[in-house]
Amino acid sequence: MDARLIVTLLLLVIGLALFIAGSKKNVFRAKGGWKTFAIIFGLMLVIYAGIGTLGQLGAINLGDKAGAYFLSAGIISPGTGGTGNGGTGGTGGGATYQPTATYSTQDKYSTTSIAGTSYYKSGNNPAGTTALTNTDSSVSYTYWISNSTYWVKPIVFQGGGTKDIVNKESWNNASATVTLYDTVNRQSNSAGTYNTSMGANDQANIEITYQGTAKKSAGPFGGLMVVEYNSTLSSVTCTGNELLDSNPYHLTYTVTATTNAYKPFAYTSGIDDGSGSPRTINCQFLNGATAVGAGSPYYVKFIPANYYVTNAGNIVLDTEKFADGDTTRVGSVINLPSVTAYWGA
């Protein structure tokens, strides 16, 4: 039994004993003053210890103010003020409560539990792998699981009170299909089924379709669409509802041939949100004074962003570990959505 519960129960018994003793005749030889004192003090002790006992058992929620009052009397103990991986409380200022916080992560579309390395971050302190169970009502906490087969979005919550933290923002890793379509000639361009002519000073309009998998995802947090093409092309512009006006991500990319160039386009989380609905992006290619040559390939690749823990203990979203000066990709490379097409003469 918890020591704090034993203390509150003991105070409750003492209070009852004083109240009963004061209420009986001839218990105190002195005059009524002592009897009155025993009755009043015993009753106050019963009320005080009773509330503390119910709070310990979780039968009532004491709230911040009442919790702070009982905290000062030692019935409910404060957190130890975590400043890193092993902190059991926050940075101070609010009361901590029992029962403590519990954590779990589940598939967004089912009750399947997601395992992996769990990270917990208290306020601005570095994230660590020790669960922060005694949460502080004045502190914001972040909980995240790193899993190689699931995309997991960190959950942020305010501490204090009983907390059953269940993160349902998790998508099973799946494949996605990318196809190309010549909107002028009304022909599919995917995998060389039709090669759009791209001579000198020529123009091509290609529609890109991204088809995800229902109730799964190949990248639910956005990322970068990379278009790699023959460097004779003078410009490549793409538009679509799923493209961002600015690029918040970082990318180290190596072209497949020295004669190629590439251009990245940042896309939103809506392109593969688990609905399985197709999304479209329209691109216009303009060639320079030199023909690209029949059979010259071009590529469209979707490089997803993912969360990772930096060396400084922050949980950030990017396409590579840029914050650590590392070019390692953080998204899945197993189901990298991409397509190859070819230009005609």
Out of 62-76, 89-103, 130-144, 215-229, pick the least confident.
62-76
79: pLDDT strictly greater than 90: no
Contacts by 131-134, CB closer than 8 A, 24 or more apart: 131/101, 131/103, 132/82, 132/87, 132/88, 132/89, 132/90, 132/101, 133/88, 133/100, 133/101, 133/102, 134/79, 134/80, 134/88, 134/89, 134/96, 134/97, 134/98, 134/100, 134/101
Region 121-134: mean pLDDT is: 95
**What's the pLDDT tens digit per position in 33-73?**
666 766 676 667 667 766 766 665 655 555 444 443 444 34
What CATH number does domain 177-344 carry, 1.20.120, 2.60.40, 2.30.29, 3.90.1530? 2.60.40
Most confident of 70-79, 155-164, 283-292: 283-292
Helices (H), the chain: 3-23, 32-57, 63-72
Per residue in 196-223, pLDDT (tens digit) is 999 999 999 999 999 999 999 999 999 9
Averaged over 90-94, what is the pLDDT? 43
CA pair distance 258, 23, nearest whole angstrom: 98
- Per-residue pLDDT, 86: 36
pLDDT confidence of residue 12: 64
> Could you give the residue ranges of the DSSP H alpha helices within 58-185?
63-72
- Total number of residues shown for the chain: 345
Lowest mean pLDDT across 24-38, 113-127, 274-288, 290-304: 24-38
| Per-residue confidence band for 96, with pLDDT thresholds at 50, 70 and 90 | very low
> What's the confidence (pLDDT) of residue 99?
54
Cβ-contact 310, 324 below 8 angstroms: yes
**Residue 22, pLDDT score:** 67
Question: In the predicted model, what is the mean pLDDT of the chain?
Answer: 83
- Asked whether the beta carbons of 282 and 240 are under 8 A apart, the reply is yes
Name the β-bridge partners of 263. Answer: 227
**Between 148 and 90, the higher pLDDT residue:** 148
Name the band, by pLDDT with cuts 50, 70 and 90, for residue 193: confident
Q: Decide which of 229 and 32 is more confident.
A: 229
- Check: CB of residue 159 under 8 Å from CB of residue 131: no
